[in-house]
Amino acid sequence: MYTSGEDVLDFRLNFTVTKKKRAGFLNMSTYNQETVILDNVRGRLESGTLTAILGASGCGKTTLLAALSQRLRGGTLSGQIRFNGEVIDRTRMTKMSGFLPQSDVILDGITVREHFYFMIEFKLPNITRMEKQHLIQKSLRKFSLNGDTKLINLSGGEKRRLSLATELLTKPQVLFIDECTSGLDSFSALSVIHTLRDLAGFHNELKLSSPSTSRIVLLSIHQPTSDIFHLFTNIILMNAGRVVFHGTADEAKTLFDSMNKICPTRYNPAEFYVNTISDPRQCLEIVNYVTSKKKEKIYEDYEEEFDEFCTSSSSEMSLDNEKDERLSWLCQCKVIAHRSILNFVRYPNHYLIELLILFIFSLVIMSVYSNISLDSESSVQDIKGFLIILATEILFTFVYAVFTLVYVELPLLRKETGNRLYSLSAYYVTIVLLMIPRIITETFMYAAIIYFATDIGSDFMIFLSIAFSIMLAGLCSMAYGFFLSGIFSSFFVGIELSGIVDLVLLLVSGMYTNVKFVPLLKYISFFFYANETVSIIFWSQVDKLKCHPNPEIQCFANGTEVLESMGFGTTEFDIYKDYLYQFILTVVLHVFAFLGVRRNVRRSGFY
């Protein structure tokens, strides 16, 4: 029962997922198959306790943690989760709890101190600068972390302590931890469990800590050592989505001994219990025994106790009145931008490699087209090819730079938006704005190297106009990259299928055919806008062309005739029209891209 000053998390949950299965001749027909992941899982967690969920792989440990912490996506979750008698929804649970997933998802380039600074900016924006510095120093000291170490250089144990310290910045009342010792050596694992035991506020086997310092700690663990097992105040044994046992280690020993299932001397109790309940026959025997004898807390008059607890009004909590301390939208953008820029400055190797590749690529193109001129008899065909390469090739760089970036940052994005550190819109707008300087810089560098290396590249104003047109197409290609990352949930599937989309966009761009034959489709291709605007800018200032001596080869008197032969516009108005249409296409792509990225972020919970 709930007592004043003691926090209690009470739950009763079922979780099922529905998957489509194929059947019939050549698997032509489909049907929905419902799978039970959590089967009437019930329990009670109290502050000042360290509770471990034990069970074989696939028994539902992580799913239970995700369900309790309200991080599940998809499927059907039924039942109730109550904290001190009040129903907890996702928003409230996020505010009052911390969640550590199995993998530590962090930025590589920033330092530990900077990581704490940004997390405090997101989580505790209203405290003073002095308080922030004090909290950073306290966290570094308490968890034995070096503030000047880059996150990429941290060991597995240090990353785990960093993630734990990050969740504790807001002093959560409930802490959920998935596979807390995964990837750690025995010493580091034992150290982490000791830390969690202290955080729960359990000392000397008695609840001596005050309510303000005690909390509920629930973790899942796969194969704890004997030393670690004896540090748990309570254990939950799970098999096939059901709770087989919930109680203390001593109660577990009493239960198994009473059923003549005695753990051998010098044998790991955790391993013995998990192996025993993994046998379906023995598991059913234990469940039936517990139910009939009512030996275990979770079954002892549970229905009456649960209903009485749920209707209790003695709770002193006022979750409805909790203030949301999230940063304003603009401040979120500012902090995200600051962190991204700092991470880029500290870890620029990837971008420098991309710049080097772009530079080499520019030199290769320059070497091929360096001798073209308007005086050549084959000048028209040569310059057509040159302008196409100049206008379109760099756009692929922007598309797949963005496409890769989104998938690389998706785990971090899913984690931080799931924890309500910032909104997805703030992240999206910030990343788009940060990409713009890169597009401008790379476009002008690329265009300058290629354009001025040829005999036709002498007019600086024409160069600026061409580079500006390519830059606008680059901004549109960036939106297209975000769009691809939104419509494809898998990176590798996206890479494979995006090539087909790219081919369609190239076919209607005027590169391979006259755009008169694709009067509508061309407007969805940023390659077309780049190709047409660059062509108009160059050819409109060519008043006279030299004809080939062979009369069978088509002769163009001036640049206007060249443009007409390709189906392009011939006036300055056509350029501005393309700019307007391209702007509209960019906005539309960004809207659908944002919706797609949001769908991918919400597709599954972060756990």
**Residue-wise pLDDT tens digits, 104-148:** 778 888 899 999 999 999 988 888 889 989 999 998 988 888 988
The pLDDT of 193-208, averaged and rounded, is 66
Task: Write down the domain spans for the chain.
Answer: 8-104+173-315, 329-602
399: pLDDT strictly greater than 80:
yes
Nearest in space to 116 (alpha carbons), one of 90, 142, 155: 142
Angle at 82 between CA 296 and CA 284, to 5 degrees: 30
DSSP for 80-113 reads EEEETTEE--HHHHHHHEEEE-SS----SSSBHH
**Structural domain 8-104+173-315, CATH architecture:** 3-Layer(aba) Sandwich (3.40)
What's the whole-number mean pLDDT along residues 187-208? 70
How do residues 470-499 score in pLDDT, each as one tens digit? 999 999 999 999 999 988 888 888 888 888
Taking only the tens place, the pLDDT of each residue in 250-294 is: 888 888 888 888 888 778 888 888 888 887 777 777 777 777 665
When pLDDT is cut at 50, 70 and 90, the band that residue 577 belongs to is very high
Residue 454 corresponds to which amino acid? T
What is the DSSP code (8-state) at residue 607? Answer: -
DSSP letters for 423-467 = -HHHHHHHHHHHHHHHHHHHHHHHHHHHHTTSTT---HHHHHHHH
pLDDT tens digits, one per residue of 367-389:
888 777 776 556 788 888 888 88
pLDDT of 320 over the 70 cut: no
Task: Return mean pLDDT, the chain.
Answer: 82
pLDDT, tens digit, 9 for 90 and up, residues 528-569: 999 999 999 988 888 887 776 666 667 777 888 888 888 888
pLDDT value of residue 361: 85
d(CA 120, CA 123): 5
Q: What is the pLDDT of residue 199?
A: 83
* pTM for this prediction: 0.83
The whole-number pLDDT of residue 316 equals 37
For the stretch 146-167, pLDDT in tens is 988 888 888 888 888 888 888 8
pLDDT score for 27: 60
Percent of the chain with pLDDT strictly greater than 90: 20
Nearest to 247 by CA among 204, 211, 286: 286
336 vs 20, residue with greater confidence: 336
pLDDT at residue 318 above 70? no
Task: Give tens-digit pLDDT for 510-530.
Answer: 887 788 888 788 899 999 999
In whole angstroms, what is the distance from residue 47 CA to residue 212 CA?
Answer: 10
Which of the residue ranges 345-354, 412-421, 531-540 would you say has the lowest mean pLDDT? 345-354
Pick from 497, 485, 490: which is nearest to 406 by CA? 485
